[in-house]
Amino acid sequence: MTSAELLELEQSIDYMVELAREFGLDFYDMRFEVVPVDVLYTFGAYQGMPTRYSHWTFGKSYHRMKLDYDLGLSRIYELVINSDPCYAFLLDNNSLVENKMVCAHVLAHCDFFKNNAMFRHTPRNMVDSMAASAERFRSYEMQYGKAAVEEFLDSVLAIQEHIDPSETARQKHLARLSNEQQKEVSKDKRQLSPYADLFSLDERISTEPKQEKPMNKQQPQKDLLLFLVHNSKTLTDWQRDILTVLREEMLYFWPQIETKVMNEGWATFWHQRIMRELDLTAAEAIDYSRTNALVTAPSRMHINPYLLGVKIWEAIEKEYDVPTGERHDRYHVEGNIGRQQMFEVREMESDASFLRNYLTQDLIEELDLFLYQKVGNEWRIVEKDWRKVRDKLCASRTNGGYPVLYVMDGDYQMTGELYLKHAYEGMELDVKYSEKTLPHVFKLWGRPVHLETVLEGRNILFSYDGNRVQRKFL
C-alpha cells in the first residue's frame, strides 16, 4: 500500500469505528498493523499469537499455508488477537478496499470477543503471558536440551484438546462467589450478632492458608491435562510447567473453536453493513463485491463458516422483525426486534446451540446442505432430511468437534495404570490416530494406559504398556 492509501485507510478506520458504535457494537480499543506476507503467515502459523514458544509444528503450518498462498489456493486477509487492546494485522498487498473491509470485519470480531459468554473467562493479556512462557521454555531447552523439550511438547500437543473449559470456569466462578459471600456474611454477622467476637475468631481461622487437594483419581474427569498435572508421578517440575502452560493456552483458544460459525458470520454480517455506508467509487464497489463474494462463496467439500454464519444472522434479523410460522404462533414474537435478538444471541450462544436453535429448514434448503460419505469407491449423498443435516452439524460442533474422553480410573486394577473411556455417541474414533496417541499419554503418565471405546458396534479396549498397542473386545 502507498503512503496515500495508508492515510486514507487511517481516516476510513476512524469513520468505521464511529459507524460500528452507532450500530451498537461494543469493542476494545483497536490497534491496526499493516504487515508483509511473510510476517502475516508467520503469525498465522503460530495461531495468531506471535509470542508463542518454538516448535516444529508451527514451521510445518507456515510452509503449508505459505505454499497455498503462493499457488493461489488460499489467502489470509487478516489476523485478529483476542486481547485488550485488540490487535489486528492487515496484509500490505491487499487493495485499499480489501483492507477497509477487513477493518470493518475485525471490529465485529472484537465486539464478539468482548461480549460473548464463551470468552468471559479468557485472559486479555495472553500475548504477554505467552511471551513469558516462551522465555521459560527457552531456558528449559538450554538446561535440559532442545530435543528433550521438543519431545515432551510433542506428547502434550497430541492430547492438548482434551480439556474441560466448563470446569475451569465453574471453579473460578465458585471461588469468586465464595470470597464475595464470605465477605458479605462476615460483615452482616459483625453488624447484627451479639457474638461478633466469636465470628471474628472464625474469620481468623478461615484466613489461614489451605492446602490444595489433588483431584480424585477415582472420580471421572473430562480434563485429561489437568488430571495429569495433578496426579502424574513421572513429571518433573519443568514438564509440569509446560503441561500447565499448554493447557492454559488451549483454554484461551477454546472459545474461538466453539464459536467459529457464529463469530465469522457475525463479523461478515457487520462488515457488509458498514461497507454499505462508505462512499465508494464504482471501481471500489466492484472490488469490494468481488472480495466479499470470495469470502462467502460456498464450497463443494466443506462448510464455509462465513457463509453459513451470515445467512443465519440475516435470518434471525428477518424472522424477529417480521415473525412468521412457529415463532409467531407458538412463541408470540411481537416483531421489530431483529437487532435486539441478534445481540442477545451474540451474547449467550455457542455454535452448537446457535445451529440447533436457528438453522431452519428454509436455510438448509436454500444453502443446499446434505450429508455425504464414501460408498465403495464413490462419494454419494446419503441424507437430505433437514433435521438430520442440522443434527449432524450440531454434533460436529459439540466439544469443538473433538471426541470426549473421560479419565475413569487413575489406579486401574490397583496398579497405577490409567483408564480412559470414550463417550461414544455414534461416531467412532480414528483407530490409527488413537494407537499413535496412546504412547504419548504413556510418556506423560509413566504407566500403562487403556482406552475404552466402541468399534463396529462392540466395546473394545486399546492398551499400551510401553512396547506395543494391544486390542481386546470387551
Query: 329: burial class by Cβ within 10 Å (0-12, 13-18, 19+)?
Result: exposed
Provide the CB-side half-sphere exposure for 463 (13 A, CA): 13
Residue with cell 473430562: 222
For residues 459 and 10, what is the distance between their CA atoms, to the nearest angstrom? 61
Residue-wise pLDDT for 31-63, tens only, equals 999 999 889 999 899 888 888 999 999 999 999
Beta bridge partners of 421: 406, 452
Q: Please state, for a pLDDT cut of 90, what percent of the chain lies above it.
A: 64
Q: What are the phi and psi torsion angles at 68 (to 5°)?
A: -60, -40
Lowest mean pLDDT among 2-6, 103-107, 168-172: 168-172
pLDDT higher than 50, residue 212: no
Nearest to 275 by CA among 455, 472, 96: 96
What is the sign of the dihedral through the CA atoms of 432, 433, 436 and 438? negative
The answer to whether the beta carbons of residues 383 and 349 sit under 8 Å apart is: no
pLDDT higher than 70, residue 80: yes
pLDDT higher than 70, residue 200: no
State the pLDDT confidence band at 186, using cuts at 50, 70 and 90.
very low
The answer to whether the beta carbons of residues 441 and 449 sit under 8 Å apart is: yes
For 18, the 3-state DSSP assignment is helix
For residues 16 and 101, what is the distance between their CA atoms, to the nearest angstrom? 10
What confidence score (pLDDT) does residue 76 get?
Answer: 83
Residue-wise pLDDT for 313-335, tens only, equals 999 999 888 877 665 555 556 77
What confidence score (pLDDT) does residue 168 get?
Answer: 58
What confidence score (pLDDT) does residue 245 get?
Answer: 94
Is beta strand 78-81 parallel, antiparallel or unpaired with respect to 30-35?
A: unpaired
The answer to whether the beta carbons of residues 445 and 409 sit under 8 Å apart is: no
Is beta strand 371-375 parallel, antiparallel or unpaired with respect to 378-383?
A: antiparallel
What confidence score (pLDDT) does residue 326 get?
Answer: 60
Q: What's the length of the chain? A: 474
Element (H, E) at 195: none
Residue type at 220 in one-letter notation:
P
State the pLDDT confidence band at 2, using cuts at 50, 70 and 90.
confident
Element (H, E) at 307: helix 305-321
What confidence score (pLDDT) does residue 375 get?
Answer: 87
Residue-wise pLDDT for 390-402, tens only, equals 999 999 888 988 9
Residue type at 153 in one-letter notation:
L
Contacts 24+ apart (CB under 8 A), 203-209: 206/182
Q: What is the mean pLDDT of residues 285-312?
A: 92
Beta bridge partners of 462: 451, 471
pLDDT higher than 60, residue 95: yes
Residue type at 228 in one-letter notation:
L
State the pLDDT confidence band at 130, using cuts at 50, 70 and 90.
very high
What confidence score (pLDDT) does residue 196 get?
Answer: 46
Axis-axis angle for helices 260-276, 282-295 (nearest 10): 170
Q: What is the mean pLDDT of residues 117-144?
A: 91
Q: Which residues, 6 or more positions from 197, have their beta carbon under 8 angstroms from its beta carbon?
A: none
pLDDT higher than 90, residue 458: yes
C-alpha cell at 104: 470493518
What confidence score (pLDDT) does residue 174 get?
Answer: 54
Q: What is the mean pLDDT of residues 194-222?
A: 53
pLDDT higher than 50, residue 207: no
Residue-wise pLDDT for 368-414, tens only, equals 999 988 888 888 989 999 999 999 999 988 898 899 999 999 999 89
What's the whole-number average pLDDT of the chain? 86
Alpha helices in 52-210 (DSSP H): 56-70, 96-115, 126-144, 146-158, 165-192, 196-206
Is beta strand 417-422 parallel, antiparallel or unpaired with respect to 30-35?
A: unpaired
